[in-house]
Amino acid sequence: MRVTILGGGGFLGRKLAARIARDGMIGGKPVTALTLFDIAAPPLPSAPFPVHTLAGDIADPASLAPALPSGTDVVFHLAAVVSAAAEADWTLGLRVNLAGTLAVIEACRGMPDAPRVIFTSSVASFGGGQDALVQDDARQLPSNSYGAQKAAAELLLQDASRKGFLDAVSLRLPTIVVRPGRPNKAASSFVSAIVREPLLGLATELPVADDFALFVASPRRAVDWLLHASAMDTAPLGLDRGVNLPGLTVTVGEMLAALEAERPGASALVERKPDPVIAGIVSPWPARFTAERARRLGFATHEPMGDIVRDFVVEDLEPTRRERAL
């Protein structure tokens, strides 16, 4: 099985690559080659099979072509311009999030056998805000450019699947917490920061109220979902290739309580500082999803918030500290 991870240099791409390298197989089938592609060449994991790392522009077909050679079986399409960045630079968001997806479709279209393509969409493609409970058949009505670009890309992948160019599964990921490394330009960056930074001994700002609810998922569970989507039977999906995942609904206050339980006194480093720009982007995002279809399809349910914080401390705290020279 030949596998490509587009966006392989991001934190989720690196975790996915490490898991594949460790397991050596996906869905019981051995991996024979892994290609990691990003704007800068991703780090090379140690694996029992050949691993290739490539740098390039996902929206440039010539640049993308070496990452998707004929015979590729599975493509994880994680490459994206994140929410606040896509809102601030509409042209860049369109180029990466939409034109990049079109380039992926065209590359797959030229293969003799349709590859499985797992696309990371987002709960930001929905609206409704704090009071919404999103059903599996809910209409996507994004209130931000990032969500609109993700929803548009989903439709293109759905149609490409219908045409037989590829076999897509679009996973509408919750906000991932706790992200290792440094803060990024996502509007939801604060969600990880209010846990990660205090655990590093650093102060951070909270732009929303303590009772603000979020729909989240851990990096570990996100990787589980990606791998499940790469090996599942897609026939039950039919035409609808988008899946709302069984994440965890949690308030900011509950996150801070989990932080405090793990590291007493750490939550004192979180400063309440309202930010209307960030709040304006994240407030329309719904925090509750039924996700019944995902459970029927075999996607694992989520662990509690305390486990998420504990896993970050065990797996990612020291690597993050070293990366940031703290």
Q: Where are the domains of the chain?
A: 2-174+218-244
Percent of the chain with pLDDT over 70: 100
Nearest to 223 by CA among 72, 26, 35, 55: 26
The pLDDT value given to residue 84: 80
- Rounded distance between C-alpha atoms, residue 259 and residue 87, angstroms: 30
Q: Please check the confidence at residue 185 and state whether its pLDDT lies above 80.
A: no
- Rounded distance between C-alpha atoms, residue 85 and residue 145, angstroms: 9
Looking at every residue in the chain, the average pLDDT score rounds to 96
299, 300, 302, 303 alpha-carbon torsion, rounded to 10°: -160
- pLDDT digits over 33-59, tens only? 999 999 999 999 999 999 999 999 999
Q: How confident is the model at residue 309 (pLDDT cuts 50, 70, 90)?
A: very high
Burial 112-142 (b: 16+ CB within 10 A, else e): eebbbbbbbbbbbbbbbeeebebeeebebeb
The pLDDT value given to residue 281: 86
- The whole-number average pLDDT for the span 105-117 is 96
DSSP 134: B
- The whole-number average pLDDT for the span 196-207 is 97
The pLDDT value given to residue 83: 78
Residues facing 171 on adjacent strands: 120, 243
Indicate the CATH number of 2-174+218-244 among 3.40.50.300, 3.40.228.10, 3.30.300.20, 3.40.50.720: 3.40.50.720
SS3 of residue 244 by DSSP: strand
Residues designated as active site? 146
Q: How confident is the model at residue 184 (pLDDT cuts 50, 70, 90)?
A: confident
Within 10 A of 277 (CB to CB), how many other CB atoms are there? 11
- Rounded distance between C-alpha atoms, residue 295 and residue 78, angstroms: 22
